[in-house]
Each structure stands twice: as C-alpha cells, then as structure tokens.
A and B are shown apart, each in its own frame.
Chain A
Amino acid sequence: MNAFAIAWDSIWHHRTRSFLTALGIIIGVFAVVTLTSLGGGVRTFVNQKFVGVGANLITVTPSLPSAHSSARGSKFRGGGPFSNVPSTLTAKDVNALNRPHHPVIKAASGMITVPDLISRPKQKPASARVSGTSSTFFAIENLKAQAGTLTGKGVVLGEKVAKELFGHHPAVGQKVAIGTKNVRVTGVLKSAQSGPGFAPNTTAYLPLQTAFGITGQKTVSEIVVAASSTNSVNSAVTLVRHILLTRHPNHDFKIITSKELLSTVLSTTRTITDFLAGIAGIALVVGGIGIMNIMLVTVSERFREIGIRKALGARDGDILIQFLTESVLLAVIGGIVGTVLAGIVTHVVGKSIGIPANLTVNSVVTAVSFSIAVGVVFGVLPALRAARLMPAEALRTE
C-alpha cells in the first residue's frame, strides 16, 4: 500500500472530520480565487470600456504652476480632475488647439461642470449632470444625435435624460430649466457607452458660452483633445504641450492621456483586488491551522499504528511521507472544491453585474499551489512528530 492509498483510506475513514477540515481550505481558496477572478473581470471590463471610448484621448487639466519639468513629482503636485486647483485654461486655449496645426490633433473641446440641476420648468429635476462643452466634443467622443442637431445653440440631452424629462414625447424644441435659466433643447444623443468620468447618457451638454453665462466662470475645468489615432497620442501630447506652453509659460496645466488614466485605474483596481485577496488569504491560513490541528489529533490517535509500522522497519521518512501526504491531500481536495465553487460563483456574479469574469488559469494555479503549500507547511509539524516517535513508546500507548 503506498502513501497515497493510506492517506486516502484515512481521509475516507473519517469522512465528516475530513470534510470539516477541508472546509477551512475550501472557504479560503474560494475567497481568494473569487476575489482575484472578479478583480480580473473588472480590469478586463475597464479595459474594454476604455478602448470603446477612445484610447486616443488626451485630457488637459489645470495644475499649480511649475517652472521646470512637468515630470518631476508631477504625481503628487495636485492637478488632475480631482483637485481644487483654480483653472487658468480658457476657451481661447481651446480655440488655439483647434486651429489647424498638424494632423495629429483631430479636435479639442473645453469642458466645464455646471453645478446646477436640470428640469422641465417648475417640475422635479432629473438625475443628470450638466456640462458645458464645445461642439467638437461630440465628434471627439464619437457621440451621434438621434434627434435634432448637435451644433445648435441650445442644450443637447443624453438619451436617459431625455427619457426621464420627456418620456416618449419628442424633446427637441422643448424648454428645460437649468438653474434659473431656461434653455431650449436642440438635440438628443443616441445611447452610448460610458467611460471613466464620462457618462453621456445621463448628462446634458450646453454650449461653452451658455455654460459660462450660467456659472459666471471664464475658465474651463479641462480640455479634451482627440489625437488623430491611437498611435499618434504621444506626438499629439508633445504638440499640445508646445501650444499651451506658449500661452501658459508658467506651465500651470497637466496633460494626462487615456492610456495613463487607464493604467492608473487598472493599477488601482489591482491594488484593491490584491488587498482583498490578501485578507481572504487569512482564511486560507486559518484553514491550514485547522489541518494542522486535525493532523496532530490523527497522529496521536495513531501512535499504535505508527509504532507497529516502525517496528516493522518503517523509516522516519516513510512515516513523514505518509502523514504529509495525508495533509497535502486534504488541502488539495479543499483547494479543488474551493476552486470549482469559486468558478461557479464568479461566473454567476460576473453575468449578473455584467463583467466578463471567469476563472483564470493564473488564479487556479495559484490556488492549487497555495493549498499544496498550506498542506505541506501545516502538515510538517504533525508529520515530524509522528516520524520522530520512538516505536517502543508508541507501542506502549495502548
């Protein structure tokens, strides 16, 4: 009888106990694999969205003035869409970028956030954001009209905003209230995919000048520039920087490409996933301790058997292998069951929240090798104990 058969025999003989022991590993592996797979799914999802929305986009945001390199410490100097740096970017900057310089820049659009609600006059407001944009924005973001025009003087409603305000009635030509001002609807967008910081279906877009009028601001909060293609993003960045530097010699702006934004978002999700998986890994360690505990019990229950085997010529190594095999087998069974469960749950959850989450080869390999490692690490102590047992004392324990 080889070590594997003996181990399986012992595990099967104590089915309930073995199952409960393996349960710790099942839960641990399940948690780790599910979290990493879902995290992977989220990353794939974000990636696809970005590609759909346009990897050719460049965003210019206000930043604190910097005399020298924009690269040095740029990550921590503030700026970017999340900071409160007062903007010095204006519609003139947008116009400067839109002047035909070089084919690498397709178009540029200023963006301004209007902190007001939109409603039909004297009715409840819709749950929508209001932005001011240049008319080039729609071309940059590949947005199409389903009714009216995108180049009118009035507001362009996102598909869901139009539905919420007007139901199935045509919106074009109607008036909406934005803050205290009434604006005519001149266009409705076709439904489109949203991206990070960009939700066309639930946004109402005003022409830049109208937005300036409502907010009283003179500056845009960011400028979105479309490069002519994904490959020309880098040369477009250089050109944008050159044009803006002649107008803003103190370098009070910051340029982020979609690629950079994507990699920031991806690395953030990865960090979160790893962190969660790490916490889930604690469950795995607890499961391992459960295995150690049960193996110690098994060893003391089987003192007699160990003694007999040693008296019959079993070497320390034979006994060590026998008990290690048992703990590793327990852990691997737990690992496999946990992985299968994780596969099912990941698939179901991924389907229900609409992300392409599936078991990755990576996570399965990690889970199984982790459970083998747990079996070895937590099996060594009990197995060594068994192996070091003197046969004489083992046989005396009746």
Chain B
Amino acid sequence: MAIEENRNSQPLIEIQDLSRIYGAGEATVHALQEINLSINAREMLALMGPSGSGKSTLMNILGLFDRPSSGSYYLDGQDMTRLKRRQQASYRGRHIAFVFQGIHLLPRLSALDNVELPMSYARMPASQRRKQALEALELLGIVHLKDRYPSQMSGGQAQRVAIARAIAPSPLLLLADEPTGALDRKSGSVVLQAFQELHENTGVTIVIVTHDPLVSQHAERIVSLEDGQIIGDYPVEDRIIEANVGGRQS
C-alpha cells in the first residue's frame, strides 16, 4: 500500500520537544510539555484526549494559529516557528485546511462562494478557483448544493461543504477539530465517510482532533494526550470503515 511505502520517507510533520506555556508565576499553565510527534504524509491520524489535555493547543500550533513556547515544528521540511505572522497566514491559506466543530460556513455566501473563499485569499485566479471548487464539491457528491446558502442545508450537508472548502486548494494537511461534534450520529457518519473517501482518493494527510473514541476508530493511528503529554501512540486495529469507502471510486 501507498501508505506503507511512505512510512519510511521523510515525515510531513516533525515536532520535537515542543512546549506551550500560558501565563506566568503561580498561574502558569503547561498546556503542552516537551512533546515529540512525527506524522507521515498520507496518514489519517486521530488526536484523542479529554478536555484540558492539550489537544486543542496542539491543533492551534499545527494550524499556525499559535506558536510554541519552546521546541520545534517542521511542516514539509520547513521550520514553522520561524515564519512571520503574515507568512503564517499565507502558508496556512495555501497548505493547511480546517474543518471546525461548529458549522463554520459564512452564512451570507453560497456553498460555491464558501468553497472558493480560501483560494481567493490565496490570490488564485478566478477561473482556476471555480474549477477546483467544483471539483471538490463533486468529490464530496454535493455539486447540486453549490448555489444554496448555509441556512438552506442540513447539518451534514453544511459540514460536507466545509470539507469541500478545506480540500479544494489541495492542502498538504487537513486539520479537523471535533468535526462531528455538532452533528447527530447519522450526519456524523456521513462526514466521517467523507473523510475516509477523501483520504483514500486524494491521499491528503488528515488529523482529526476528538474526544470521541468511536470517531477515532475511523483513523489509522491514534495519539492520546493527557495533561499536556502524549500517553499513547498506536495504530488502530479494528478500524471502522464506513460503507462504500474505497469501493465507489478507485
């Protein structure tokens, strides 16, 4: 399998001795303590842990929303801690995509406009933007929703539009923060199916942050955090594969 081959190549994400400390003196909070983690390209990983374990902090750092207090973070061979704010924004726009817990579509834009937005911030030409947006909507099987506004969609549909928006610019890394948190079970499994299909078909590296063990069982590898430290890192043995994944498209 392609993933097996890539295990030995250079990792996409390389984190060493990474710490994040908030506050000072008595009120100091060690959100992350000297974490070491490497994630390969084409991996689908779940970041697990209870609230307060540091998983959101780690995701903010991975997404270039936050900077580590110490330690290093390499993404695709580049030192992310050295980027300036502006460079961070532009790197994020081009290479990192997000799916959030809430339905984070802009309510006043149509599905297609929402999907085009990150590419427009990345200064991509309009025609190419349109083409990639339609491709992404097609990949998630929701082209028919392209002219609808978020208020005219179900939760699952909206979250799939959000995923389409995330993958349309062909990012290196897709970060999903509790992507099923706001959804009912059925919509949730539709969304997880979408992630698995995407992973299968495009090979994008996916990191899902969740506290739900059922959700993490959809990934290939689980990293568990507690009190700012990694307490477990293992491959998923009985991986749940949502119906149709791998069979519908090849």
Contacts and interface: CB of A to CB of B under 8 A. Distances in A.
A314 B108 CA distance: 17
Interface residues of B, number: 26
Contacts of A309: 106, 117, 121
Q: How large is the interface on A (under 10, 10 to 19, 20 to 34, 35 or more residues)?
A: 20 to 34
Interface stretch (A26-34, A71-79, A387-395): A387-395
Contacts of B85: 316
B65 A391 contact: yes
Contacts of A312: 93, 98, 117-118, 121, 165
A305 B105 CA distance: 9
A318 interface: yes
Given A312-B93, A313-B89, A318 B121 contact: yes
B36 to A, nearest CB: 23
Chain A contact residues: helix, strand, loop or mixed: helix
Given A1-B113, A308-B104, A395-B104, A313 B65 contact: no
A374 to B, nearest CB: 27
Interface in A123-150: none
Contact of A311 (B65, B94, B122): B65
A289 B160 CA distance: 42
A260 interface: no
B200 interface: no
A377 to B, nearest CB: 24
A170 B113 CA distance: 87
A103 B109 CA distance: 83
Given A1-B113, A390-B65, A313 B108 contact: no
A305 B109 CA distance: 12
A370 to B, nearest CB: 31
Interface in B96-128: 98, 100, 102, 104-106, 108-109, 113, 117-118, 120-122
Contacts of A301: none
Contacts of B92: 311, 313
Contacts of B94: 313
Contact of B89 (A1, A314, A392): A314
B33 interface: no
A104 B93 CA distance: 83
15 contacts: A1-B109, A1-B113, A1-B117, A13-B108, A311-B63, A311-B92, A312-B117, A312-B165, A313-B92, A314-B93, A315-B86, A316-B89, A391-B65, A392-B66, A395-B104
